[in-house]
Amino acid sequence: MSLATRRSSRVLFLASANPGKLREFHAAARPRGIDVQVLPGFAQLPPCIEDGNTFEDNARKKSLHYSAFTSELVFADDSGLSVDALEGAPGVRSARFAGPNATDDENNRMLLAALHRIERDSSGRPALRPASQKRAAHYVCVIALAERGRILTVVEGRADGLIVDTPRGSGGFGYDPHFYFPPLNRTFAELTAEEKFAVSHRGEAFRRLLEFLI
């Protein structure tokens, strides 16, 4: 497929069965005339082992792995939350922070417990470090686009915020109820899907992917 033909392709296959990601990507691509679909037969394909040390490692591995099962364009993302006070954790283990089959609630409880432990000194009293420094966090999303076992491009997005104890909002998924986004004075879970994608790490990365394609 030539570069011109590839960039004018109207279908992108997503190497993920995550319904939240599919909704966000599909809604963003539709106005550009691009249809995002889950890679056909995805659930029955041999899974990719996500053992990379970085988001980019995993995004590349997934897109290359699944592009072997189709002649069409395939993209995969790896994304997660990094908390400064936890030295970047949960990081690439965001989806399984509390265990291999952890739920969002379990991961969020693990995150808050880890923060509470470091926010107290050895005597059990609250530490003096400013709250904004202890709770600074950012979401990262890396998307890799592949065709027939070859990487075409890799793009990245980031969103900065703070972790709050009390969950707010019913939208989004993952750590969104606890991820407070100061510019909008709301958590990601309090935003509509359109509002979130306009400012999120995933939205920024995907817009960069669309710029490459169009």
Catalytic sites, residue numbers: 78
Reduced to 3 states, what is the DSSP secondary structure of residue 198? helix
Q: Measured over all CA atoms, what is the biggest interatomic distance in the chain, rounded to whole angstroms?
A: 65
Phi, psi of 9 (to 5 degrees): -60, 140
User: Would you say 154 and 143 are in contact if contact means Cβ atoms under 8 Å apart?
Assistant: yes
Q: How many CB atoms lie within 10 A of CB 62?
A: 24
d(CA 208, CA 189): 23
d(CA 115, CA 136): 11
Could you tell me the two tokens for 201?
A: 């790490």
Reduced to 3 states, what is the DSSP secondary structure of residue 99? coil
d(CA 49, CA 92): 13
Cα angle 56, 60, 64; round to 5: 175
Q: How many CB atoms lie within 10 A of CB 119?
A: 14
Cis peptide before 90 (omega within 30 of 0): yes
